[in-house]
Structure 1
Amino acid sequence: MARSGGVPAGPEVWAYVLDGHERLRIALAELTEGRERGPSRLPDWTRAHVLSHIEGIGRALTRQARYALKDELIEVYDGGRPARDAGIEAGAVRSAAELTAAVTATLAEAETVWGSVGDTDWDRPVRYRDGDLLGALRCWWRELEVHTADANLATCSAAWPRELCLHLFDFLAPRAPAGLTLVESDGPVRYTFGAGSTGSTRSAGHGPVVRGRLTDLAAWLAGRDPHLRLDGRLPELGPWP
């Protein structure tokens, strides 16, 4: 089931999220003591920072769902971005066992709350981007998958499902220069962006062409550093939307 334009609907996104939860649990099994201090795939962040962030954003977005189901609105983070950043730093000092327990509890809480969302609940309003429950769940999907790869454990962006990659193309379209074309080297996707802030099409374009596996293209668009082939120089991307 999908909405117009092939965008995954709520139950479909939730199924992908549950798959992502399992991949993260498998990755956490590799987090032996001491490895939490090792480097992640993000500059200046250890694995502990990434896992602390996954815990925090997971709880914050689950809270959006819990309150929306009561017809109430609540901020994503109490105290906004400064509180979010402080929470990551405070959480990153924990041991591997403590981080594993915290993230595992976050996944269990998410499954309880999001699992109770019914088919008629997805358009309930939330504070996250002044949107709805479906938008909040899609955010958790992105954060979960991207940062699980960032943790530099048992999984990487090569494990991302095709549906996530195409969703990232749509969500991250404002980052792309107009006319940029992404060409899947081992599949059928040829994706050309329109005006950077207005979305994209899959028609022929007249801008730079970047080629690679679909997962590598999505990872690059998300600001990560995969292996790509391009016609000309790799274009500069705008900020995360």
Structure 2
Amino acid sequence: MAESGGLLRGPEVWAYVLDGHERLRIALAELTEGKERGASRLPGWTRAHVLSHIEGIGRALTRQARYALKGELIEVYDGGRPARDAGIEAGAVRSAAELAAAVTAALAEAEAVWGSVGDADWDRPVRYRDGDLLGALHCWWRELEVHTADAGLETCSAAWPRELCLHLFDFLAPRAPAGLTLVESDGPVRYTFGTADGTEDPAGRPPVVRGRLTDLAAWLAGRRPHQRLDGLLPELGPWP
């Protein structure tokens, strides 16, 4: 049986997002010139690429909220995925100071818009996955935390709150083979994905992977855990 983090209420998610904003600001203060050209934890991307993406997705999801509050729908990116990718590449040529300023401005914009969302607004429709404002805010939480860790600055996935890890288990469940069980080695969480479908370890059992909650969440998100996981790691599917 899966232990789920559940879908948090808007104000609860927003409080975690604000914590993530603050940790990213602290990390950006350590971005000295030249450091932005270093490799990130994403293959093929420098820190500048990751920070450019954080800025772009932050502004895109803030735009979803701004228009939803006016009762209007707008695409996440004008021009779709090609425009998104081009924007990341164009933004990645900036200096450390320019990148830090741009990301900081995007965070301030997000706080101004998302901070104005009221209790009755969270189910307003948005274009993002044809969902609602609450789903869009969950997306910003994921993108913010996962890519802040990818940038390899001050913060990392080891700083992820438990609630984010449990949310990632829920959101990334389509990546996991049915029957996979994740067991928190230093806590109470035991999370099983669906029912066994024949994906088994050499002893003929559905796979069980044990580790710290943050390391389990990082692996499920396609990132390298900070500490070793115990168990046979099955192949994961694509990001949903």
Q: TM-score under structure 1 normalisation?
A: 0.92
Displacement of 1:234 in angstroms is 1.1
- More relative contact order, 1 or 2 (CA 8 Å, 6+ apart): 2
Q: Quick check: 1:221 aligned with 2:231? A: no
Q: 1:131 to 1:211 in 2, by over 3 A?
A: same
Aligned to 2:190: 190
Displacement of 1:207 in angstroms is 1.3
Task: Tell me if structure 2 keeps the 8 A contact 1:182–1:209.
Answer: yes
Cα distance in 2 for partners of 1:119, 1:179 equals 37
The total of aligned residue pairs comes to 228
Residues 125-165 of structure 1: CA distance to partner in whole angstroms, max 9, x if unpaired? 00000000000000000000000000001011000000000
Aligned pairs (5 A) from 1:108-119: 108-119=108-119
Q: 1:225 to 1:5 in 2, by over 3 A?
A: closer
Aligned to 1:88: 88
Unaligned runs of 5+ in 1: 197-205
Aligned to 2:162: 162
Cα distance in 1 for partners of 2:206, 2:36 equals 42
Task: Tell me if structure 2 keeps the 8 A contact 1:47–1:151.
Answer: yes
Cα distance in 2 for partners of 1:146, 1:117 equals 24
Q: 1:105 to 1:228 in 2, by over 3 A?
A: same
Q: TM-score under structure 2 normalisation?
A: 0.93
Cα distance in 1 for partners of 2:193, 2:228 equals 18
Cα distance in 1 for partners of 2:118, 2:53 equals 28
Cα distance in 2 for partners of 1:239, 1:19 equals 28
Unaligned runs of 5+ in 2: 197-204
- Give me the CA root mean square deviation: 1.3
Cα distance in 1 for partners of 2:161, 2:213 equals 9
Residues 175-211 of structure 1: CA distance to partner in whole angstroms, max 9, x if unpaired? 0000000000110101000059xxxxxxxxx510111
Aligned to 2:39: 39
Residues 32-68 of structure 1: CA distance to partner in whole angstroms, max 9, x if unpaired? 0000000111101000000000000000000000000
Task: Tell me if structure 1 keeps the 8 A contact 2:5–2:163.
Answer: no
Q: 1:195 to 1:122 in 2, by over 3 A?
A: farther
Task: Tell me if structure 1 keeps the 8 A contact 2:33–2:95.
Answer: yes
Cα distance in 1 for partners of 2:229, 2:50 equals 29
Cα distance in 1 for partners of 2:65, 2:162 equals 26
Q: Percent identity?
A: 89
Cα distance in 2 for partners of 1:194, 1:169 equals 12
SS of structure 2 residue aligned to 1:6: coil
Aligned to 2:62: 62
Q: 1:50 to 1:218 in 2, by over 3 A?
A: same
Aligned to 1:150: 150
Displacement of 1:229 in angstroms is 2.7
Task: Tell me if structure 2 keeps the 8 A contact 1:126–1:132.
Answer: yes
SS of structure 1 residue aligned to 2:119: coil
Cα distance in 2 for partners of 1:193, 1:70 equals 39
Task: Tell me if structure 2 keeps the 8 A contact 1:217–1:228.
Answer: no
Task: Tell me if structure 1 keeps the 8 A contact 2:31–2:96.
Answer: yes
Aligned to 1:13: 13
AA paired with 1:112?
A: A
Q: 1:237 to 1:148 in 2, by over 3 A?
A: same
